[in-house]
Amino acid sequence: MGDRVILETPSGSLSLPVVGVTMDFASPQGTLKMLRPLYERLWHDDTITLAFVEVDAPARIEDVRMAIAATLGSKYQLRILSARELVEYYGEQVRRAFGAVDVLAVMVLVVVLVGVADAVAASVMERTRELGVIRAVGVGRKTLWKSIMLEGLALAIMGITLGIAAGALLGVLWVEDTFPALLGWVLVLHVPYAVIACGAALTMVVCLAASALPARRAARLEAATALRYE
């Protein structure tokens, strides 16, 4: 507010004062608004590419759309969108840009499945003699199976905690700094609680599934055989 903007026009340089600042998502580079007669006079351009129409009653939006389409639509090949449809269009473009994230999420879950299974299986093999001692002092197979499954669950909880913390940090950085710096758009941070809950549940299921086979192997160990294991 109060600064002056120097613009180069076909009619020469133009110095204009900044009398107001508003949010506008029409262009990621930002938008300069001025009186239309001033623009027509200095740029020698009386055409438009974008028009916003304000309707006095929400119930009449569809009627106004049909009237514009009937009178001007075919002549100027107009694309007529409501404010809600425009927001949905932008949202769809963002979703398409990040569509590959779902594929990456599936790949990550597969890696988690293999990694946790390998880690728990290695842990069981390294502790074969220890597990034999546990079995020898009277610990039941079911209890031993539960303890190995709990190890897999603990890995899942640790991973979920670290993932949520890292994701929250990256989300704040993208919304508060990266997007405004790259696109000039000011966004509102939204936490997808349902997606986080679904991802956490899937991670727990995958980790428990990965722990099932090593846990079964540990539960089937014979005490005498395990004690002789080196």
pLDDT digits (tens, 9 = 90+) for 37-63: 999 999 998 888 888 888 887 768 888
Examine the domain organization and report whether 30 and 135 are in the same domain. Answer: no
DSSP of 43-62: H-----S------SSGGGHH
Last residue of a domain, one of 51, 82, 113: 82
Is residue 160 a part of any domain in this protein?
Answer: yes
Number of structural domains (the chain) is 2
> By residue range, what is the domain housing residue 37?
4-82
Cα–Cα distance for residue pair 163/142, rounded to 1 Å: 31
Cα Rg of the chain, angstroms: 31
Examine the domain organization and report whether 23 and 112 are in the same domain. Answer: no
Examine the domain organization and report whether 10 and 120 are in the same domain. Answer: no
Cα–Cα distance for residue pair 122/116, rounded to 1 Å: 10
Is residue 199 a part of any domain in this protein?
Answer: yes
Is residue 194 a part of any domain in this protein?
Answer: yes
| Alpha-helix runs per DSSP H in 69-140 | 74-76, 83-97, 100-126, 128-136
Per the listing, tokens 């001033």 go with 38
pLDDT digits (tens, 9 = 90+) for 175-214: 888 877 776 667 788 888 998 999 999 999 999 999 888 8
Cα–Cα distance for residue pair 98/63, rounded to 1 Å: 35
Examine the domain organization and report whether 109 and 187 are in the same domain. Answer: yes
Is residue 88 a part of any domain in this protein?
Answer: no
Residue 26 DSSP label = S
Examine the domain organization and report whether 67 and 174 are in the same domain. Answer: no
- Asked if 203 contacts 113 with a C-beta cutoff of 8 angstroms, the reply is no
Examine the domain organization and report whether 148 and 220 are in the same domain. Answer: yes
Judged by average pLDDT, the poorest of 136-140, 158-162, 212-216 is 136-140
Calculate the average pLDDT of the chain.
Answer: 84
Last residue of a domain, one of 82, 114, 129: 82
More confident residue, 25 or 189: 189
Is residue 26 a part of any domain in this protein?
Answer: yes
pLDDT the model gives residue 4? 92
Is residue 103 a part of any domain in this protein?
Answer: yes
Last residue of a domain, one of 82, 109, 134: 82
- Please state the pTM of the whole predicted model: 0.61
| CA atoms 183, 185, 188, 193: torsion sign | negative
Cα–Cα distance for residue pair 70/73, rounded to 1 Å: 6
Q: Which residues pair with 17 in a beta bridge?
A: 4
Examine the domain organization and report whether 105 and 65 are in the same domain. Answer: no
Cα–Cα distance for residue pair 212/132, rounded to 1 Å: 19
Examine the domain organization and report whether 58 and 120 are in the same domain. Answer: no
Examine the domain organization and report whether 217 and 109 are in the same domain. Answer: yes
Is residue 146 a part of any domain in this protein?
Answer: yes
